[in-house]
Amino acid sequence: MDSLLKVSDLRVSFPSRTGWVEVVSNLSFQIQPSEIVGLVGESGSGKSMTGLSLMRLIAPPGRAQGSILWKGSEEILTMPPRRLRSLRGAEIAMIFQDPFTSLNPLMTVGAQIAENVQLHQNLKGKAAWNQAVEMLERVHLPSPETLAKRYPHQLSGGQRQRVMIAMAFVCQPALLIADEPTTALDVTLQVQILALLKELRDQFKTAILLISHDFGVIGAVCQRVMVMYAGRLVETGSARDTLSAPLHPYTQALLESLPTPGAIPQPIPGQPPEPSRRPDGCAFHPRCRFAFDRCSQNTPALLQLGGEQQAACFLREREQKHL
Ligand code: SF4
């Protein structure tokens, strides 16, 4: 069976005074229908750029190269503009941390959702409005008929995020890219929004790429996890294996930096490098407690390490050779 999405050797770069700077390097992964995949890393790791490039939303003069294959047959990076417009919103939808950036402050939320329905489905007027109201009900907003007539500033942060989710799901997309969808919310609302995403995935069979800096969020809903550092994929595997037995020192450090009962969080020393100043070799080596000579000289490739788990680390390669 073809993957829903197959990304091969994706590179995203921007021009600078000294030449092109890569913010995403040699990224390859697949997403299967209905799957919830987490993309985790600190800010600046390239995860949001990855999300944007999947919808070909990298603003010029930035560029995305490589291949993003949709349903096994369509190349998103060279898709004609007309087809790209029909793909966005209808087949691939995206939600962000701040719903204000995506909602029009001058339109009622019902009208905005109905507009999406009119744009991508053969429904007009009252029928599109009714669908918008029905979707507001599905995201568990109270009194959806009344709420549909309100403007974004009349809603709470949690309600706005539910409206964004309603707008994203109203055309029943095959893939939702959710970029830090719960970061601006308090913990109780976070849990509710994640449960809602899972519920809608079950109803619509929508695959979700959940982008987050927070392993707690990823662990709550994802089946599979990809960990990015300095523009590269450094570990991938099932959520259960990656969270319980991480194989890459960066993943281990990220997990140790989380507040957990009975343990003092250990912040990762130092900062992630600027894309234009990435160190040679393994980009994590200046912060890695296990670094050895080779780490500053060569870039480790992703290694298959049993089951679904892969990690890009010379330590793991050395262990494998000694087995
Ligand atoms: Fe650390 Fe070296 Fe592994 Fe990089 S390759 S994570 S520096 S041990």
Q: Note the pLDDT tens digit of each residue in 35-68.
A: 999 999 998 899 999 999 999 999 999 999 999 9
> Where exactly are the structural domains of the chain?
5-91+173-238
| Residue that is written with structure tokens 């007309």 in the block | 82
pLDDT of residue 132: 97
What is the number of the ligand 1 atom nearest to the C-alpha of 249? 6
- Supply angle C-alpha 188, 193, 194, rounded to 5: 100
Question: Parallel, antiparallel, or unpaired: how do β-strands 175-179 and 92-95 relate?
Answer: parallel
pLDDT of residue 70: 98
Q: Which residues of the chain have pLDDT under 70?
A: 323
Instruction: Tell how far the Cα of 292 is from the centroid of ligand 1, in angstroms.
Output: 7
For the record, the structure tokens of 293 come out as: 């000579």
Instruction: Tell how far the Cα of 300 is from the centroid of ligand 1, in angstroms.
Output: 8
Q: For a pocket test of ligand 1, which of 248, 254, 268, 284 has the largest count of ligand atoms closer than 8 A to its C-beta?
A: 284
Pocket of ligand 1 (CB under 6 A): 249, 282, 284-285, 288, 290-291, 295, 300, 313-315
What is the number of the ligand 1 atom nearest to the C-alpha of 283? 4
- 109-120 and 157-169 helices cross at what angle (nearest 10)? 10
Instruction: Tell how far the Cα of 13 is from the centroid of ligand 1, in angstroms.
Output: 24
Q: Model pTM greater than 0.85? A: yes
Q: Note the pLDDT tens digit of each residue in 265-298.
A: 889 999 999 999 999 999 999 999 999 999 999 9
pLDDT of residue 262: 80
For the record, the structure tokens of 215 come out as: 């392993």
pLDDT of residue 261: 78
Would you state the CATH architecture of domain 5-91+173-238? 3-Layer(aba) Sandwich (3.40)
- 97-104: long-range contacts (C-beta < 8 A, 24 or more apart)? 97/179, 97/180, 97/181, 97/183, 97/184, 98/184, 99/152, 99/157, 99/160, 99/161, 99/163, 99/164, 100/152, 100/160, 102/164, 102/167, 103/152, 103/160, 103/163, 103/164, 104/152
